[in-house]
Structure 1
């Protein structure tokens, strides 16, 4: 990183949000694939970490970071409590992940690649780490991958089992969604480390990757990165049940600045709805050097989602 870029990043970090544009919200490192949760009065944000150089032509993602805020303006970096090295079976990069709390423990579902072994010939895989605290330390919860490439055969390539999204319904049933090229889902046991029943595969309109699943009132939402155009946009479906059928609803977010990909993370916090995503807007940023942003998200009376307006200002500080 050039000296003048370092100076700019430091200036952005110490300036108040009223003076300096808030988005991207993390300025001292490159971050991607945001995943927010609420624990007590704090919003915790889990992200990937891009470490590719300006000359690199593919992703290099070394670990996963945790940040926190109580006012949506001041962010604390809790470091990188998890990396592919945490998993003895893993190799490669730290792709999209999502953390969720259950029964006093925090389960961090991650996507990376599997070493060639007796159980797998390699390819993308999903693991799960666990901790007693939202900021770690995290450990491999089961000592093996939860999902391996051999479990899904609809896509004829090795990188389709990525981007886990976990959701716990009101009745306590947990669901895991994931997939590149097609969307896959399976029920989880209460321990969050074992599957129940068969894996279901389907393909929402324009779906490519990065699902995010949640419930609001009586409606279930499946939000995802779309392949309707290139670069990616964010589109969504709704349903009356987490196992569908899903009804396509349209585009939430148009293309982002200076990045081929984008990735949704949606949450309600202190009376507002927030839409997290990433772009390539930082100095020296790009498709392999991305940065997490946040803007407001609004619903129509019928539950459909209004298009997200991407801003450099971001969201207001909660007083």
Structure 2
């Protein structure tokens, strides 16, 4: 198990206040929420993405948190050119798979890799020794940052699927080993798709949330089939304050749906010094999502 470096008590949103965090992904394992984030390190006055690693936190009550030593860095992928972009972690058949977007060297754009661990907090190791998805695998595109923000779902039948993209939303099935594509890459036509895809399933419905427009709101589409068709349902979350981007994550903890996102709410914060927040999510009777109410109180228990 990776070392614990600190403990802290959340006092509302943003949840983590001693570091700039972004691009959340999370899972529930053995009664605890594990929250994984990107890590913005741009100095004040620098308006550019400076991201070298990903961070890991856990909580059993959403108020008291544990921070672990850095479980994964972009440099842990020997083939990458750096840049720790958005990611997604899933648990499947005894292993934790961490799908990440990084830069590919020599002007090859962005790529998606996968790391694996036997414990949610790591340590993680590159599962392949090479990228899983590269720019030359995509349908024709000139966008060198097309491979961003992976999101993975293991369906009820055990089949796994990956969604990702920047400007265009891509979709493919994964092989049983979880580290290779099993079939062609397809394109999903979603209005206003910018980036930040997140897939989840509830009561037979698939929900595909994503960053919509720029600056990004969060919109979503629904389908009864993982292969579509997808029906656009509108805006889920408005622009998060002082931040042009967003990347949603939705989990259920203690039967309570939670919406995890980032804003620029800390001192000196902004689009390149972001902070993760958590608010409640709820469903309408017809299974559509109610708009998120962003709060400063968050979901802490007093």
State the TM-score, normalized to the length of structure 2.
0.95
- Select between 202-211 and 275-284 the one with higher mean Cα deviation: 202-211
Shift of 1:154: 3.6
Q: What is the distance in 2 between the residues matched to 1:164 and 1:50? A: 18
Gap runs ≥5 in structure 2:
1-6
Report what 1:8 is aligned to.
none
- Are the counterparts in 2 of residues 155 and 182 from structure 1 also a CA contact under 8 Å? no
- SS state at 1:150 partner: helix
Report what 1:180 is aligned to.
166
Shift of 1:231: 1.4
Is 1:105 matched up with 2:89?
Answer: no
Q: What is the distance in 2 between the residues matched to 1:131 and 1:92? A: 20
Number of residue pairs matched? 297
- SS state at 2:136 partner: helix
Match of 1:298 among 282, 286, 294: 282
Match of 1:45 among 32, 35, 42: 35
Q: What is the distance in 1 between the residues matched to 2:118 and 2:204? A: 31
Report what 1:6 is aligned to.
none
Is 1:199 matched up with 2:185?
Answer: yes
Q: What is the distance in 2 between the residues matched to 1:179 and 1:134? A: 25
Shift of 1:153: 3.7
State the TM-score, normalized to the length of structure 1.
0.90
Report what 2:150 is aligned to.
164
Q: What is the distance in 2 between the residues matched to 1:269 and 1:189? A: 28
Q: What is the distance in 2 between the residues matched to 1:222 and 1:135? A: 26
Report what 1:65 is aligned to.
55
Match of 1:307 among 284, 287, 291: 291
Shift of 1:144: 0.4
Is 1:210 matched up with 2:196?
Answer: yes
Report what 1:83 is aligned to.
73
Is 1:26 matched up with 2:11?
Answer: no
Q: What is the distance in 1 between the residues matched to 2:47 and 2:195? A: 20
Report what 1:252 is aligned to.
236
Q: What is the distance in 2 between the residues matched to 1:300 and 1:169? A: 23
- Are the counterparts in 2 of residues 178 and 211 from structure 1 also a CA contact under 8 Å? yes
- Give the 4+ runs in structure 1 shifted more than 4 A: none
Shift of 1:95: 0.3
- Select between 25-34 and 78-87 the one with higher mean Cα deviation: 78-87
Q: What is the distance in 2 between the residues matched to 1:316 and 1:59? A: 30
Shift of 1:205: 1.2
Report what 1:136 is aligned to.
122
Larger of the two Rg values belongs to structure: 1
- Are the counterparts in 1 of residues 139 and 185 from structure 2 also a CA contact under 8 Å? no
Report what 2:4 is aligned to.
none
Report what 2:84 is aligned to.
94
Shift of 1:92: 2.5
Q: What is the distance in 1 between the residues matched to 2:274 and 2:290? A: 25
Is 1:285 matched up with 2:269?
Answer: yes
- Are the counterparts in 2 of residues 179 and 210 from structure 1 also a CA contact under 8 Å? yes
Q: Deviations over 1:187-246 (max 9, x none)?
A: 01121011111010122111110110011001100000001xx31100000001111100
